Amino acid sequence: MTAVNESALTGESIPVDKAEGDAVSAATMNQQGYIECRATRVGEDTTLAQIIRTVSDAAATKAPLARIADRVSGVFVPTVIALALLTLAGWLIAGKPFSFAIARGISVLVISCPCALGLATPVAIMVGSGVGAKTGVLYKTAAALEGAGRTQVIALDKTGTVTEGQPKVTDVIPVGIEKEQLLVLAASLERNSEHPLARAVTAEAEGLALSEVGDFEALPGHGLRARLDGKELLGGSLKFLTSRGLAGEAVTARANALAEEGKTPLLFALGGELIGLIAVADPIKQDSAQAIRELRNMGIQTVMLTGDNARTAQAISRQAGVDQVVAGVLPEGKAEVIRQLKPLGKVAMVGDGINDAPALTVADNGVAIGAGTDVAIDAADIVVMKSRLTDVTAAIRLSRATIRNIHQNLFWAFFYNAICIPLAMGLYGIEMKPMYGAAAMALSSFFVCMNALRLNLVNPHDAGRDRKGKSISAEALDEIVAAATAKEDTTMKKTLKVEGMMCGHCEARVKKALEAVPGVESAAADHNSGTAVVTLSAPVADDALRAAVEAQDYKVLGVE
């Protein structure tokens, strides 16, 4: 047994226990002990290479944002020239002197203002980007700034985005001793371990006088063992201490209740007596619940995508107030969920890890947490430098303000030209001199620039004026999340410990027997490790798998 840190791929900070025969991936780190691995996929076939390829493919298919102003400007100048010529010809035909006709034509050219149309979008974006930078929100492109405000669904990574990303002690429950004494004993044992859960316990006991233990031994997948003042000191999982007969019904119920809250209960015993429980969890960030409330007030649906187990994901979801959860998803699974959500409306993805990069790239807008990995930051369209989830709502709020400002500028540009060009043509019975037309044109551009500068007065963190945008159908979102969850559930794997396999022929028999069981998508047997790994397309009882193998005269020692 060993514990492997898979955070680079799954984003989860808690190491995963691995036994003989279990699969491990490149880009993960062994945390305890020594392991030997056989490479089954190398080079471009590794999980990390597949993530990189997914990011590259998605980035290559991302379409640029079309701009209304660009399309209008493409026909505006030819139209104005045509109107000027039409004005000149019209007044000459009407019998006016050439000087009068040419003055009207020049006035049309001078008073028309393509500058206002041309400035309407870029000036607002420039000012909005500057306000974002002051706030700690970096928009990589103008399309990202314009698109963020149209977001209707936000997908959130769990670890490091909604949560802190580092395990911390949440509960200390002594049994028969004082709380401080339990912390001292637990930390005295755990400080000899490199496991993240051990570091969390040690950090909680910082400042306390710890004891020296002897005969320390790490039991990967179970816990720790040492001797203190001649007594055996144990620490580890509920299963480990239950196997030693040290966890009664009341303690088991309390540990299970903590597990339902998404916490990892650690039990400790000294001299054959249980001395308490310490619960460790990755707590949510202080502003996560507030940020999700603000998103809901904006009419934005939230979906949490995580590689963690469903129980922990649901516990975090309840604390943060997330609308929907899809748990147990790999990087390519996150990207696939984003693709399924995009037909509903504009989708943003918020993440911080390598495992989030494909989803960040596939989303209409990818938002990276500033404390995240370089790969995530590079894949994202927006970066929130202070790593606060409320900065995501600020990014959306600032984008909406910028979009409103652009619409105001465009309206003014169209309104000005619609009123002033007929005036310059002399259709209102007024003979406008070209110099007055030039002054009006300059004032139009001045108005657009001054209106854009009003964005400097916007406070992106002020939720007081939030309005609901165009919302998507909650029922449609439920269906997509349910389908994604069902798909993840159907890719379950179980490992059987099989005794009696001696050669490749034995492997083939076990494989054939398991694949004949309804609900088994595929099976892989290995006589060297004595295991058979089955991939399930539907829930299958352990007894059914056991019976299929034992019908071939092999013995099943356990199913995990």
Q: Using pLDDT thresholds of 50, 70 and 90, give the confidence band for residue 49.
A: low
| Mean pLDDT rounded to a whole number for the chain | 81
- High-pLDDT (> 70) share of the chain, %: 88
One-letter identity of residue 427: L
Q: Using pLDDT thresholds of 50, 70 and 90, give the confidence band for residue 182.
A: very high
Q: What is the DSSP string of 239-286?
A: HHHHHTT---HHHHHHHHHHHHTT-EEEEEEETTEEEEEEEEE-PBPT
How much is the pLDDT for 133?
A: 84
Q: Give pLDDT tens digits for 244-262.
A: 888 888 888 898 888 888 8
How much is the pLDDT for 226?
A: 92
Q: Give pLDDT tens digits for 367-394.
A: 988 766 666 777 788 888 887 889 999 9
Whole-number Å distance between alpha carbons of 507 and 525: 5
- Give yes or no for residue 11 having a pLDDT over 60: no
How much is the pLDDT for 533?
A: 86
- High-pLDDT (> 90) share of the chain, %: 13
Output 46 or 167, whichever has higher pLDDT: 167
Q: Give pLDDT tens digits for 335-377.
A: 888 988 988 888 999 988 777 888 888 888 889 887 666 667 7
pLDDT, mean of residues 62-69: 45
Give domain 168-281's CATH superfamily. Answer: Calcium-transporting ATPase, cytoplasmic domain N (3.40.1110.10)
| Residue 415: partners with Cβ closer than 8 Å, 6 or more residues away | none
Q: Give pLDDT tens digits for 273-331.
A: 999 999 998 888 888 999 999 999 998 999 998 877 777 888 888 889 999 888 877 77
How much is the pLDDT for 183?
A: 93
How much is the pLDDT for 64?
A: 41
- Tally of CB atoms within 10 A around 317: 25
| Residue 465: partners with Cβ closer than 8 Å, 6 or more residues away | none
How much is the pLDDT for 54?
A: 45
Closest listed residue to residue 58, CA positions, set 383, 373, 358, 339: 358
Angle value at C-alpha 331, between 328 and 333, nearest 5 degrees: 65
**The tokens of 259 are what?**
């597990």
Cross-strand bridge partners of residue 251 = none
Q: Give pLDDT tens digits for 516-540.
A: 887 777 788 887 778 888 877 666 7
**The tokens of 494 are what?**
């179980």
| Residue 444: partners with Cβ closer than 8 Å, 6 or more residues away | 113, 115, 116, 412, 413, 416, 420
End-to-end Cα separation, the chain, in angstroms: 13
CATH of the domain spanning 490-559: 3.30.70.100
Whole-number Å distance between alpha carbons of 526 and 55: 34
| Nearest 10 degrees: Cα torsion 32, 34, 40, 45 | 50
How much is the pLDDT for 73?
A: 65
How much is the pLDDT for 396?
A: 92
Q: Give pLDDT tens digits for 203-227.
A: 999 888 888 988 888 876 678 899 9
DSSP H helical ranges for 385-428? 390-425
How much is the pLDDT for 154?
A: 93
- Contact (CB, 8 A) for 21 and 530: yes
Q: Measured between alpha carbons, how far is residue 335 from residues 12, 130, 144, 414, 489 in Å?
A: 17, 31, 19, 41, 17
Using only C-alpha atoms, the chain has a radius of gyration, in whole angstroms, of: 32
Which sign, positive or negative, has the C-alpha torsion 462, 466, 469, 475?
positive
Domain positions in the chain are 2-40, 68-125+397-457, 137-164+285-395, 168-281, 490-559
How much is the pLDDT for 60?
A: 44
Whole-number Å distance between alpha carbons of 160 and 209: 32
Active site residues: 157
Q: Using pLDDT thresholds of 50, 70 and 90, give the confidence band for residue 148.
A: confident
Whole-number Å distance between alpha carbons of 133 and 260: 41
Whole-number Å distance between alpha carbons of 107 and 421: 8
The pTM of the full predicted model, rounded to 2 decimals, is: 0.68
Buried b / exposed e across 507-534, counting CB within 10 Å, b at 16+?
bebbbebbeebeebeebbbbbebbbbbb
- Give yes or no for residue 450 having a pLDDT over 50: yes
Of the given ranges (22-26, 134-138, 143-147, 204-208), which has the lowest mean pLDDT? 22-26
How much is the pLDDT for 65?
A: 36
Whole-number Å distance between alpha carbons of 278 and 263: 10
DSSP letter (8 states) at residue 230: T
CATH class of the domain comprising 137-164+285-395: alpha beta
Q: Using pLDDT thresholds of 50, 70 and 90, give the confidence band for residue 268.
A: very high
- Give yes or no for residue 142 having a pLDDT over 90: no
